[in-house]
Amino acid sequence: MNSRTNNIRTNNRIFLIFLLAGVSWRSHAQTGHSVRLDELDISKVYQGRDRPREIGARAEISIGRVPFSGGLHTRTDSRLYISLDGKASTFTARVGIDDRSARDSKAEFFVIGDGAILWRSGILTASHSAKPCRVPIDGIRRLLLKVDAAPGANAHVDWADGLFFYRGARPLTNWSPEDLVLDRRPSGPALPHINGAMAVGVRPGTPFVYPVAVTGQDPVSITVKDLPPGLVFDGATGVISGTPEKRGDYRVTLLAKNGAGMTRRTLRIAVGDSLALTPPMGWLSWNVTEGLVSATILEEMADAFVKYGLRDAGYQYIIMDDCWAAGRDQTGHIFPDTVRFPAGLKTVGDYLHARGFRMGIYSSPAAMTCASYPGTGGHEATDAATWASWGVDYLKYDLCSTPRDSIRERYIRMGRLLENTGRSILYALGAGDEGPGLPIDAHAQVWRTGVDIRDQWKMDEECGIIDCFDDQERLARYQHPGMWNDPDMLVTGIDGKGASANDLGAKGCNDTEYRSQMSLWALLSAPLFISADVRHIRPSALKILANPEVIAVDQDLLGNPPVRFGTKGDLEVWVKEMEDGSRTIGLLNRRNKPAAMTVSWSAVALKGPQRVRDLWLRKDLGSPATGYSTTVPPHGVVLIRVYPKE
Q: Which residues sit opposite 528 in a β-bridge? A: 281
Which one-letter DSSP state was computed for residue 189?
-
**Nearest CA among 265, 268, 186, 179 for reference residue 223:** 265
Which pLDDT does position 430 carry in this prediction? 87
Q: Which residues of 172-211 are buried (b: 16+ CB within 10 A; e: fewer)?
A: ebbeeeeeeeeebebebeeebbbbbbbbbbbbbebbbbbb
Which pLDDT does position 509 carry in this prediction? 96
537-540 own/partner pairs: CB under 8 Å, 24+ apart: 537/184, 537/308, 537/493, 538/181, 538/493, 538/495, 539/181, 539/183, 539/184, 539/186, 540/511
pLDDT at 535 over 90: yes
Element (H, E) at 302: helix 295-307
Q: What percent of the chain has pLDDT over 90?
A: 80
pLDDT band for position 503 (cuts 50, 70, 90): low
Q: What percent of the chain has pLDDT over 70?
A: 93
Provide mean pLDDT across the span 18-43.
Answer: 65
Provide mean pLDDT across the span 137-159.
Answer: 92
Q: What does the pLDDT look like over 392-437, one tens digit per residue? A: 999 999 988 888 889 999 999 999 999 999 999 999 998 777 778 8
Which pLDDT does position 32 carry in this prediction? 85
Element (H, E) at 631: strand 627-632
Element (H, E) at 185: none
Q: What does the pLDDT look like over 112-131, one tens digit per residue? A: 999 999 999 999 999 889 99
**For 43-47, 498-502, 613-617, which range has the lowest pLDDT when averaged over its residues?**
498-502
Catalytic residue of the set 158, 161, 322, 398: 398
**325 neighbors 334 (Cβ within 8 angstroms):** yes
Query: How far is residue 119's CA from residue 161's CA, in Å, rounded to a whole number?
Result: 17
At residue 615, φ and ψ (nearest 5 deg) are -80, -20
Which one-letter DSSP state was computed for residue 580?
T
Query: How far is residue 180's CA from residue 157's CA, in Å, rounded to a whole number?
Result: 26
Q: Which residues sit opposite 112 in a β-bridge? A: 117, 144
The residue that leads in pLDDT, 86 or 437, is: 86
Describe the chain by its helix, strand, coil percentages, rounded to 5: 25, 35, 40
What's the 3-state SS for 75-93? ECCEEEEEECCCCEEEEEE
pLDDT band for position 294 (cuts 50, 70, 90): very high
Which pLDDT does position 183 carry in this prediction? 65
Query: How far is residue 257's CA from residue 407's CA, in Å, rounded to a whole number?
Result: 51
pLDDT band for position 57 (cuts 50, 70, 90): confident
Residue 603 neighbours by CB under 8 Å, 6+ apart: 565, 566, 573, 627
398 among known catalytic residues: yes
Which pLDDT does position 460 carry in this prediction? 85
Provide mean pLDDT across the span 229-238.
Answer: 96
Q: What does the pLDDT look like over 197-225, one tens digit per residue? A: 999 999 999 999 999 999 999 999 999 99
Which one-letter DSSP state was computed for residue 280?
-
Q: What does the pLDDT look like over 537-571, one tens digit per residue? A: 999 999 999 999 999 999 999 999 999 998 889 99
**For 31-40, 182-191, 340-349, 608-617, which range has the lowest pLDDT when averaged over its residues?**
182-191
Confidence (pTM): 0.92
**324 neighbors 373 (Cβ within 8 angstroms):** yes
Neighbouring C-beta atoms of residue 66, cutoff 10 Å: 18
Q: Which amino acid is at 533?
A: D
Q: Got the DSSP string for 311-379?
A: HHHT--EEE--SS-EEEE-TTS-EEE-TTTSTT-HHHHHHHHHHTT-EEEEEE-SSSB-TTSSB--TT-
pLDDT at 49 over 50: yes
452 among known catalytic residues: yes
Q: Got the DSSP string for 482-508?
A: TBEEE---B-TT-TT--SHHHHTS---
**For 322-336, 487-501, 558-572, 583-597, which range has the lowest pLDDT when averaged over its residues?**
487-501
E strand intervals along 364-520: 392-397, 426-429, 446-448, 484-486
Q: Which amino acid is at 580?
A: D
Peptide linkage before 77 cis (omega within 30 of 0): yes
Q: Which residues of 89-115 are buried (b: 16+ CB within 10 A; e: fewer)?
A: bbbbbbbbbbbebeeebbbbbebbbee
At residue 8, φ and ψ (nearest 5 deg) are -60, -45
pLDDT band for position 6 (cuts 50, 70, 90): very low
Dihedral sign (CA 521, 522, 527, 531): positive
**For 140-149, 178-187, 380-389, 516-525, which range has the lowest pLDDT when averaged over its residues?**
178-187
Output the average pLDDT for the chain.
91
pLDDT at 2 over 50: no
pLDDT at 16 over 80: no
Query: How far is residue 536's CA from residue 283's CA, in Å, rounded to a whole number?
Result: 14
Which pLDDT does position 25 carry in this prediction? 37
Which pLDDT does position 498 carry in this prediction? 76
Tell how far CA 435 is from the center of its chain: 26
Q: Go through the domains of the chain in sequence order and give each one's CATH number.
A: 3-179 (2.60.120.1060), 193-271 (2.60.40.10), 281-554 (3.20.20.70), 563-644 (2.60.40.1180)
Provide mean pLDDT across the span 225-251.
Answer: 97
Catalytic residue of the set 50, 234, 452, 614: 452
Which pLDDT does position 462 carry in this prediction? 84
- DSSP-derived 3-state class of residue 540: helix
> Is residue 312 packed enough to be buried (19+ CB in 10 Å), middle (13-18) or exposed (0-12)?
buried
555-558 own/partner pairs: CB under 8 Å, 24+ apart: 555/196, 555/197, 555/198, 555/278, 555/279, 555/281, 555/314, 556/278, 556/525, 557/198, 557/199, 557/268, 557/277, 557/278, 557/481, 558/481
Query: How far is residue 360's CA from residue 286's CA, in Å, rounded to a whole number?
Result: 12
Residues in the chain, overall count:
646
Which pLDDT does position 434 carry in this prediction? 78
**494 neighbors 247 (Cβ within 8 angstroms):** no
- Give the largest CA-CA distance in the chain: 87
pLDDT at 20 over 90: no
Using N-to-C axis directions, what is the helix angle for 345-354 and 295-307, rounded to 10°? 10
Q: Got the DSSP string for 194-260?
A: EES-SEEEE-TTS-EEEE-EEESSSP-EEEEE-PPTTEEEETTTTEEEE---S-EEEEEEEEEEETT
Give the pairing type, strands 637-644 and 208-211. unpaired
